[in-house]
Amino acid sequence: MSFSKCPPVKTPENFGILIICLLICVFDTYLNAILNAQQTELTLFDGLKVVSATRNVDITSQIVKVKTEFELKNEGKEDVSFFVNVITEDEAKHLSWMVAFETGKETGKFRVSRAKVKGAPDGFIFHKLELLNLLSTGSAIKVTVEYALTEYLVPHPKEIIQSENQLVLYSGLANIPSAYSLLKETCIYKVGSVQPIAFTDVSLSKYASGKITYGPYENSKPYTKKPITIHCENNSPFLVATKVDRFIEISHWGGNLAVEENVEIVNKGAFLKGSFSRLDFQMDRRGMKQPVVRSFKSILPPATRDIYYRDEIGNISTSSVYPRNDRVEVELRPRFPLFGGWRTNYVLGYNIPSSSFLHSSGSNYALRMKMMDRLFDNAVVQKLRLKIILPEMSTNIKLVTPYSVKRLPDETYKTYLDTFGRPVVVIEKENLINNHIQTFTANYNDLYQKIKIYFFSFIMNLNVFI
């Protein structure tokens, strides 16, 4: 019997691979530690009591809007610095926006951060709301928490013919999820003027005037769940912008900001079953109450000019512009009505004087603009990519955003009379609604602006003499 000779082990190469694996493990452990540190484990204040809580849930559009008002009282021996708000895991998957403040004082927003609660059961997600002032012993405060869920309502049935109304299914709770005992609670669902097809009937539930009321319930224990479903009519547009590429180009020469948005939209309502009839569409007596998108209105900044609206084919003439005192309204009408499952894309662009948004002090500049324009009512944007094209040779670029975003590596954009190209700041954000239309600030230094002006002036004068 003969044995083949084993190849020699290359120790240096294996050792290098081992080192790389160890480095990857260390980096992964470090990254997980950072992520876990962002969700601090909290111990609730024993003396904090929820005297009453009222929750209002609006399911009349494609966005589920939740507003809960808590009346809190500190009956403990120590001051209270935070309150914990609770949502279900299903809601957390669709959470787009959340804000908290003292009732009646909307300007003083609380800091909201994801957290863990010691000893809490599974199935709940917690957010720590940091009070602006300590709640001393014996004091009380009213707190309002608002949040929005996107793509949470489910069309049921999933397909409808052209003459049918759109029905949706909502799954939630008849009570308010809480980490605290609730002395009194009420949950109200706004479902519209049409009586719902069906809803879960639990104790102390009723329907009246377009609202389903659950409660009031008394002495509810923490982490209580009373699951319900609501099946109701909802013909509002389920229009979703799957992708928005927004470009802002700064021109110091002309004192102009050129803005362009490339938008892909889809109607995520119940799919159209069967063929489309133009005649039936025009003769439908429901008019604007049909579950179809005929047109939508975008809102642009005041002083907007040179507006254009086009797609891959060319200019789309079915649009109207309505200047207002504080805005410019643009009614956009696609080339065809958008039924459930139908999609289209378009480009909307305009120019605007930079004096309203670009501020300077010497060679230092600050651009303050909105993260995005209002595309349409109750808009849902799955993914926004914003590109800010700064003047050539800009330096010391700093970006301040109103909420967390993903900043991608800077790019370079070359256009007329450029030598090195213009720096481009690129950021991304997912799952946005109109509440995210807030102001960012892009700071940069353009020390070479005067040099460029003097240089081109010299060239122009030289040509005159020649």
pLDDT of 146: 97
Residue 180 sits in the same domain as residue 79? yes
Instruction: Give the pLDDT mean for 292-319.
Output: 90
Q: Are 80 and 42 in contact (CB under 8 A)?
A: no
| Secondary structure (3-state) at 30 | helix
Residue 234 has pLDDT above 70, yes or no: yes
Least confident of 210-219, 300-309, 399-408, 444-453: 444-453
Residue 265 has pLDDT above 90, yes or no: yes
Residue with the bigger pLDDT between 54 and 7: it is 54
Residue 60 sits in the same domain as residue 140? yes
Residue 383 sits in the same domain as residue 310? yes
Least confident of 16-25, 208-217, 387-396: 16-25
pLDDT of 19: 58
The string over 93-128, giving b where at least 16 C-beta atoms fall within 10 Å of a residue's C-beta and e elsewhere, is ebbbbbebbbeeeeeeebebeebebeebeeebbbbb
Residue 263 sits in the same domain as residue 202? no
User: Last residue of some domain: 200, 233, 266?
Assistant: 233
Q: Does residue 9 lie within any of the structural domains? A: no
**Cα gap 429→401, rounded to integer Å:** 11
At 446, the pLDDT band (50, 70, 90 cuts) reads confident
Residue 226 sits in the same domain as residue 259? no
Instruction: Give the pLDDT mean for 233-241.
Output: 94
At 1, the pLDDT band (50, 70, 90 cuts) reads very low
User: Last residue of some domain: 168, 203, 233?
Assistant: 233
**Cα gap 330→71, rounded to integer Å:** 42
At 3, the pLDDT band (50, 70, 90 cuts) reads very low
The CATH number assigned to the domain holding 63 equals 2.60.40
Q: Which amino acid is at 405?
A: V
Residue 183 sits in the same domain as residue 249? no
Instruction: Give the pLDDT mean for 45-57.
Output: 94
Highest mean pLDDT among 24-33, 364-373, 452-461: 364-373
Residue 20 has pLDDT above 90, yes or no: no
Q: Does residue 33 lie within any of the structural domains? A: no
Residue 259 sits in the same domain as residue 163? no
Q: Please give the structure tokens belonging to residue 288.
A: 């604007």
> What is the sign, positive or negative, of the torsion defined by CA atoms of 175, 177, 181, 183?
negative
Instruction: Give the pLDDT mean for 86-97.
Output: 96
Residue 157 sits in the same domain as residue 280? no
Residue 221 has pLDDT above 50, yes or no: yes
pLDDT of 192: 87
The CATH number assigned to the domain holding 427 equals 2.60.40.1730
Q: Does residue 320 lie within any of the structural domains? A: yes
Q: Are 141 and 135 in contact (CB under 8 A)?
A: yes
**Structural domain harbouring 257:** 239-451
Residue 377 sits in the same domain as residue 283? yes
Q: Does residue 420 lie within any of the structural domains? A: yes
Q: Give the chain's mean pLDDT.
A: 88
Q: Does residue 34 lie within any of the structural domains? A: no
pLDDT of 319: 86
pLDDT of 38: 52
Q: Does residue 437 lie within any of the structural domains? A: yes
Q: Does residue 42 lie within any of the structural domains? A: no
User: Last residue of some domain: 185, 212, 233?
Assistant: 233
Could you tell me what percent of the chain has a pLDDT over 90?
Answer: 69
Number of domains present in the structure of the chain: 2
| Per-residue model confidence as pLDDT tens digits over 133-182 | 999 999 999 999 999 999 999 999 999 998 899 999 999 999 999 999 99
| Per-residue model confidence as pLDDT tens digits over 321-371 | 999 999 999 999 998 899 999 999 999 999 999 998 999 988 899 999 999
pLDDT of 160: 92
Residue 16 has pLDDT above 70, yes or no: no
Could you tell me what percent of the chain has a pLDDT over 70?
Answer: 87
Q: Does residue 357 lie within any of the structural domains? A: yes
At 456, the pLDDT band (50, 70, 90 cuts) reads low
**Cα gap 40→84, rounded to integer Å:** 12
Residue 301 sits in the same domain as residue 406? yes
The pTM (predicted TM-score) of the whole model is 0.85
Residue 290 sits in the same domain as residue 209? no
Q: Are 248 and 389 in contact (CB under 8 A)?
A: yes
Residue 304 sits in the same domain as residue 265? yes
Q: Are 340 and 160 in contact (CB under 8 A)?
A: yes
What is residue 356's DSSP assignment?
G
**Cα gap 159→213, rounded to integer Å:** 30
| Secondary structure (3-state) at 33 | helix
